[in-house]
Structure 1
Amino acid sequence: MWVTSDGDIHQELRADGRYDEARGKRPSAYTGRYTVTGNRLQYVDDSGSTATGEVRDGVLYHEHLVLHRKEEHQS
Structure 2
Amino acid sequence: MIHPYIGLWVTADGHIRHELLPDGRYVEARGTREAAYTGRYEVTGDHIDYRDDTGFTADGDFVDGVLHHAGMVLRRA
Q: Hey, which bits of structure 1, 4+ residues long, moved more than 2 A? A: none
User: Which residue is equivalent to 2:76?
Assistant: 69
CA distance in 2, matches of 1:42, 1:11: 13
Q: Which runs of 5+ in 1 are unaligned?
A: 71-75
User: Which residue is equivalent to 2:20?
Assistant: 13
> Identity rate of aligned residues, in percent?
59
Residues matched between the structures, number:
70
Q: Which runs of 5+ in 2 are unaligned?
A: 1-7
User: Residues 7-38 of structure 1, C-alpha deviation per residue, up to 9 Å, x if partnerless?
Assistant: 11111000100000000011100100000100
Q: Select which of 47, 50, 53 maps to 1:43.
A: 50
CA distance in 2, matches of 1:49, 1:24: 20
Displacement after TM superposition at 1:63 (Å) = 1.3
